[in-house]
Amino acid sequence: MQKITIVEDDAPIREMYKLKLKARGYDVSTANDGASALHVLEHVVPDLILLDIRLPHLPGNEVLKRVRATDWGHSIKVIVLTNISKDEAPSDFRFLNVSRYIVKVHYTPSQVMEIIQEVLDK
Confidence (pLDDT) at 94: 73
pLDDT tens sequence for the chain (122 residues): 999 999 999 999 999 999 999 999 999 999 999 999 999 999 999 999 999 999 999 999 999 999 999 999 999 999 999 999 888 887 777 778 899 999 999 999 999 999 999 999 98
Confidence (pLDDT) at 88: 87
Give the count of domains, the chain. Answer: 1
Contact 50, 104 (CB under 8 A): no
CATH of residue 70's domain is 3.40.50.2300
> Model pTM?
0.95
Domain span at 9: 3-121
Report the side by side order of strands in the sheet with 27-31. Answer: 27-31, 3-7, 48-51, 77-82, 100-103
Q: Is 12 exposed, middle or buried (0-12, 13-18, 19+ CB in 10 A)?
A: exposed
Backbone angles phi, psi at 55, to 5 degrees: -130, 150
Confidence (pLDDT) at 89: 82
